[in-house]
Amino acid sequence: MLILAGLGNPGPRFAGNRHNVGCMAVDQIARRWGFGPERSRFQGLAREGVIETPQGAIKALILKPQTYYNDSGNAVGEALKFYKLSPADLVVFHDEIDLAPGRFRMKAGGGAAGNNGIRSITGQVGPDFRRARLGVGHPGHKDLVQGHVLSDFHKVEQAWLNDLLLACADAAPLLAAGEDEKYQAEVMRLAPAEKADTRQLRQDRETP
């Protein structure tokens, strides 16, 4: 069994924010694979279903923590403990400012890189979970980051955003089968985007 956690903040006020792109991704997976109705569980909103793979159907729980982004670990840790799963059975979808808009990267383990939601989950379950990182770009200066991630996607961004969300859902059998590298490659094949790494862009902007 897998837990697919999508990070974000609760309520309609935040629904369209860049910080909520993780929630958007798991919602799209739930729609694509016909998951059951959403209900309150584990300090979050959860849906159960299966993802078909060549090796057979894989049961999955989609979880959107309702604890606010920075305390996501409370919900995720509770769910992992309930199902007696290991961190390898957890995939966290979240926004990544150090990837250009529309880029996608899978990563297992490692640090939080300033992401308080990832830091919260690490505090509850350790660092060895899988991360699905959805690029939202960097605003150019660290003082602008909070406003950037807590603002909605612009209308001109909707095309690449929709393509990326659909790709995450369509390629989900590879994720469910544990083929993270192939999943990453397939998502980017289905939703190609600019390759620029915004960490370099940020360095360029901050250089006097």
Q: Which amino acid is at 90?
A: L
Query: Annotated catalytic, 19?
Result: yes
| Interacting residues of 164 by C-beta distance below 8 A, sequence separation 6+ | 25, 102, 104, 134, 187, 191, 193
Of 19, 94, 138, 148, catalytic? 19
Q: What is the dihedral of CA 39, 31, 71, 95, to 10 degrees?
A: -170
Asked if 19 contacts 9 with a C-beta cutoff of 8 angstroms, the reply is yes
| Interacting residues of 155 by C-beta distance below 8 A, sequence separation 6+ | none
Residues forming the active site? 19
